[in-house]
């Protein structure tokens, strides 16, 4: 799989506009770490209401971007066992929002594998704007056949 091609993201993730929150994977070390980019645009629909005079990316969408990067991590790490399956959130722990993410920012999502046990993945996720830590969390997800969902 070529990580430089955005269309590979579409092959692994079921998400589409306006809910696809990863634009590109820029670094990947199998089984260890993935770094992805989300370009934050003023044209995104949530900024109309959150907040019109002072737009801030909702924290739940930052977490969702981390989760989508985690799904890509799992898919790139173990193509055979993740292919044709969906990745679902199980838990989100130790969430901290450190800095608002605003239009024009480039969100750098850094996911490190903390643990894997069969179909269950645990990631340490961090989201940066520039060198500033914007958010962090421990994420746990599981893969399931789409038919089982």
For residue 50, indicate whether it is catalytic: yes
What 3-state DSSP class applies to 76?
Answer: helix
Q: Out of 15, 24, 33, 50, which one is annotated catalytic? A: 50
> How many CB atoms within 10 Å of residue 80?
6
Q: Are 34 and 27 in contact (CB under 8 A)?
A: yes
Distance of CA 42 to the CA centre of its chain: 19
Report d(CA 111, CA 27) in Å as an integer. Answer: 10
Report d(CA 126, CA 124) in Å as an integer. Answer: 7
Q: Are 129 and 101 in contact (CB under 8 A)?
A: yes
Active-site residues: which are they?
A: 50
């Amino acid at each position: 799989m070529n990580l430089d091609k955005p269309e590979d993201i579409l092959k692994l993730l079921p998400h589409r506009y306006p809910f696809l929150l990863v634009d590109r994977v820029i670094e990947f070390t199998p089984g260890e770490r993935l770094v992805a980019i989300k370009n934050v645009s003023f044209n995104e629909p949530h900024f109309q209401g959150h907040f019109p005079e002072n737009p801030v990316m909702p924290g739940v969408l930052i977490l969702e971007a981390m989760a989508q990067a985690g799904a890509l991590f799992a898919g790139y790490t173990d193509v055979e066992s993740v292919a044709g399956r969906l990745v679902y959130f199980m838990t989100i722990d130790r969430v901290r929002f450190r800095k608002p993410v605003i239009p024009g920012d480039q969100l750098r999502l850094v996911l490190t594998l903390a643990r894997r046990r069969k179909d269950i993945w645990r990631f340490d996720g961090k989201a940066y704007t520039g060198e500033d830590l914007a958010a962090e969390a421990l994420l746990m997800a599981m893969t399931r056949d789409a038919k089982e969902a």
